[in-house]
């Protein structure tokens, strides 16, 4: 099971697991000692606090996957940086509740059908997702494409 978790980030270790009829829960923690501040790119290892963060990942054997990450918030010690603390994760965007690879799968499924039927299909087989969430992902994706051109 550790191997599945390290596919998300090589510094993650699995500290526990729980299985219900519909879900698999993973409890993970990061062994990464140093993180890079997203604002000024300084490296910091000074821990501010710990917090838990839940997000969904791709399903395993028809069970939806919920990961609880025990994360460390770090101080940014650069005096000229406007950010005093930050949480560094490369495998998951700030504030999002789904991993990148799960979002990509949601996008693929919803490209070939309506948002309503995509939401029904995804909720049944992959992940609990609302029609409005799919709609937001698609809008962001199209927005990015226009910016690249």
Which residues are at the interface with Zn ion (CB under 5 A)?
A: 37, 39-40, 76, 78, 81, 83
> Measured from the CB of residue 78, what is the shortest distance to Zn ion in angstroms?
5
Nearest to 128 by CA among 28, 26, 55: 55
Indicate if the alpha-carbon torsion angle 128, 130, 133, 138 is positive or negative: positive
> Measured from the CB of residue 18, what is the shortest distance to Zn ion in angstroms?
36
- 51 vs 45: CA distance, rounded Å: 16
Residue number, 52 or 83, with CB nearest to Zn ion: 83
> Measured from the CB of residue 46, what is the shortest distance to Zn ion in angstroms?
12
CB atoms within 10 A of CB 55: 19
Residue number, 39 or 136, with CB nearest to Zn ion: 39
Residue number, 7 or 81, with CB nearest to Zn ion: 81
């Amino acid at each position: 099971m550790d191997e599945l978790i390290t596919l998300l980030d090589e510094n993650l270790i699995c500290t526990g697991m729980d299985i219900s009829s519909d879900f698999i829960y993973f409890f993970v923690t990061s062994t990464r000692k140093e993180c890079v501040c997203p604002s000024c790119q300084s490296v910091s290892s000074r821990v501010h606090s710990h917090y838990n963060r839940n997000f969904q990942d791709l399903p395993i054997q028809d069970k939806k996957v919920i990961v609880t990450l025990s994360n460390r918030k770090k101080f940014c010690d650069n005096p000229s940086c406007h950010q005093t603390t930050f949480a560094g994760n490369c495998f998951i965007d700030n504030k999002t509740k789904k991993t990148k690879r799960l979002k990509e799968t949601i996008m693929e499924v919803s490209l070939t059908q309506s948002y309503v039927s995509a939401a029904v299909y995804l909720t049944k087989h992959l992940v609990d997702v609302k029609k409005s969430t799919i709609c937001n992902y698609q809008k962001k994706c199209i927005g990015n494409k226009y910016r690249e051109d």
